[in-house]
Amino acid sequence: MQFAPLYPLLYRLLKPAFPGCLWTGSRDRPRIALTFDDGPHPTYTPQLLKILDFYQISASFFLLGTCVEKYPDLAKEVHQRGHWIGLHGYYHHSFPLLSPPELRDSLQKNQRAIASACQIDLHNLRDVRPPNGLFVPQTLQHIHQWNYRPVMWSVVPEDWVRPGISTVVGRVLSQVKNGSLIVLHDGKCGGQDVAQTAEMLIPQLLERGYQFTTIDEFQRDRSEEKNVPDLSV
């Protein structure tokens, strides 16, 4: 069963209920963020990177710690090509099912794996996207308490169930607007199509006048709007 029609409704309900999460960028500028979850994958991620390179697009990757440890050189390549990197947990375990110590351990192991592979300062690895998009208020409380920044989404085309590349592209194009935060997948579920999806989607978004940015830029804009010092630099 596919739930794609429900995600726009969930977004409209959850965004005002949980303002501590990053859901979108500014609506004032035609900028959007392409984000990819569940990698790195030894086949799908390199295919995707070639497409992003061709269009000179910077994206954001939420990496799994266990995949980073299996493919550290690939994680390093993602970083070296100028893409922003965030945390997706060590394993793809839903955060509400973890105890607070288990959740913190998952994030710290995820953080250390990426920092080691990419030679990034731990303090620059603070953006967290919960696997499956699942959280409860206590989850967010802990994430903020531990000085991480929860990142969600505004456009979810449900690519992981592989409804067809044209379907995924059509879902994105029907929902995208200024500040959209789009989530796709380059892992074992959905990654089979991610390069072709990006190859079809990106030029159409460019034709509409959208500029591509990364999660750190959205976070910086958010901090400036709130007059809160940005701690990521």
- pLDDT tens digits for 151-199? 999 999 999 999 999 999 999 999 999 999 999 999 999 999 999 999 9
C-alpha to C-alpha distance for 173 and 193, rounded to whole angstroms? 17
What is the token pair recorded at 188? 């074992």
Residues 110-123 pLDDT 10s: 999 999 999 999 98
| Active site residues per annotation | 37, 185
CB atoms inside a 10 Å sphere around CB 138 = 12
Residue partners of 89: CB distance under 8 A and separation at least 6: 64, 65, 95, 106, 107, 110, 130, 131
For residue 154, the tally of other CB atoms under 10 A from its CB is 23
pLDDT digits (tens, 9 = 90+) for 81-136: 999 999 999 999 999 999 999 999 999 999 999 999 999 999 899 999 999 999 99
Q: What is the pLDDT of residue 5?
A: 87
Q: Please tell me the CATH code under which domain 33-226 is placed.
A: 3.20.20.370
User: Domain ranges in the chain?
Assistant: 33-226
Give me the chain's average pLDDT, please. 94
Work out the pLDDT band at 233, boundaries 50, 70, 90: very low
**For 194-216, what is each residue's pLDDT tens digit?**
999 999 999 999 999 999 999 99
* Confidence band, pLDDT 50/70/90 cuts, at residue 226: confident
